[in-house]
A and B are shown apart, each in its own frame.
Chain A
């Protein structure tokens, strides 16, 4: 845990930025990679490393930042949904209905999709919690944030090393 404390801090911040209403509007694909860069820089400062960063270390810091971002992102998403009893799925449901109805597919398929999301929406409106929604959020967050964390970590390592090259050369 202590080894990845910088990832923990930056992953937490990225998780918050991804989920808190209003701030969420500024969310971009660069949030988790930027968090990985900051985590890597903080880690180097904390351990007084002045040499080049290893790509393995960059990979691990990026991965851990992505994992922490997904843990906190999922946690806050589920928590905010539980408290407010509303979320994107509830708000976007009428649009989803309209969109699905416009597609040239069987009425049975349309009905199944709408029923599935209607159940999720009803659970959220009534209890503030839906198993299906929560599981999908956790899987989504882990998948996307881990990949973006790794990419961010590797690119950050390369950027730090190229800066190192520039200053020494």
Chain B
């Protein structure tokens, strides 16, 4: 994939990630407070936003739960790595299934109250899953470009 496409992908994920940190940004740039309720509502579509599951930075909440934050952060890190690597790892189905299984096991153990919800575990499981998801997404984009016959990708 051409560097400019990789950079665009990284930038898009970074913008999305800045979106989930919008409350934190507003604390540094208070004039943006007008957009906060709209952005918050926007992210409510993709996350339950339960207050006890949100990550806090300096007592300021991110707009999505720990697991979702982990997923997006995993995608962000992998997209950043992809900027410097010519050929990314070929995604294998077992990686995807394992990372999904870890999330499901964590959710199951919490729901049967074997242990309490842990933000760090949720973030880490999300991070693993997000990283694998990015590999699939990256590969699918390459294949899509190939099908669309875009040369020199």
Interface residues in chain A, defined as those with a beta carbon under 8 Å from any beta carbon in chain B: 18, 24-29, 54-56, 58-59, 73, 88-89, 96, 99-100, 103-105, 109-110, 112-113, 117, 136-137, 140-141, 143-145, 148, 151, 154-155, 157-159, 161-163, 166
Contacts and interface: CB of A to CB of B under 8 A. Distances in A.
Nearest to B26: A103
- Chain B interface size band reads 35 or more
Contact of A163 (B31, B47, B93): B93
B33 A162 contact: no
Given A103-B33, A105-B33, A148 B46 contact: yes
Nearest to A70: B45
B1 interface: no
Interface of B: 26-27, 30-31, 33-34, 36-38, 41-42, 44-48, 50, 64, 67-68, 71, 91-93, 96, 133, 136-137, 139-141, 143-144, 146-148
Given A100-B33, A105-B31, A88 B140 contact: no
A154 B144 contact: yes
A136 B45 CA distance: 12
Contacts of B27: 103
Contacts of B148: 56
A103 B28 CA distance: 10
B137 A154 contact: yes
Given A155-B136, A158-B136, A28 B93 contact: no
Contacts of B48: 24-28
Given A29-B68, A154-B144, A144 B136 contact: no
A162 B92 contact: yes
Contacts of B140: 55, 58, 154-155, 157-158
28 contacts: A24-B48, A27-B45, A27-B46, A27-B48, A54-B147, A55-B144, A55-B146, A55-B147, A56-B148, A88-B41, A89-B37, A89-B41, A105-B31, A109-B34, A113-B33, A137-B41, A141-B45, A144-B42, A144-B46, A148-B46, A154-B141, A155-B140, A157-B143, A158-B136, A159-B93, A159-B136, A162-B92, A166-B93
